[in-house]
Structure 1
Amino acid sequence: MGSRHPVLNVPSGRAGNGVPTVVQVVARPYDDPAALRLGAAAEARLGPRSDPGRRPGLAHQG
């Protein structure tokens, strides 16, 4: 059975060894709006964390 607490992960950067890191937001039971507000605030504070150069390419299909 799952938790009633909404949980959200926000990318926060990379560790020294290149492993992606996140900030985990856990809100009160059934308080999804609070989790989303906190996640948006964390994302705004941390800034954009996506690096397209570090994403794997798509496999060729055809």
Structure 2
Amino acid sequence: MIDKAPPTREEHPSPLWEKCSGLWELIRSCQNWDRLQRPNLDYIISKLGEYVEKEEISS
């Protein structure tokens, strides 16, 4: 196992982090070293769909 610190929001600034609350956490959860702790594809698609719906409503 690689012992590397995970990336931080500060290292990867983006207006998306403020616009889509929870997106950074979703991305980070997908990077979990333990594959059993990673979200499944259905959950990821569902969350991304929520972000798109929110964006469409606020536009």
| Greater Cα radius of gyration, structure 1 or 2 | 1
* TM-score normalised to structure 1 length: 0.34
Q: Which has the higher helix share?
A: 2
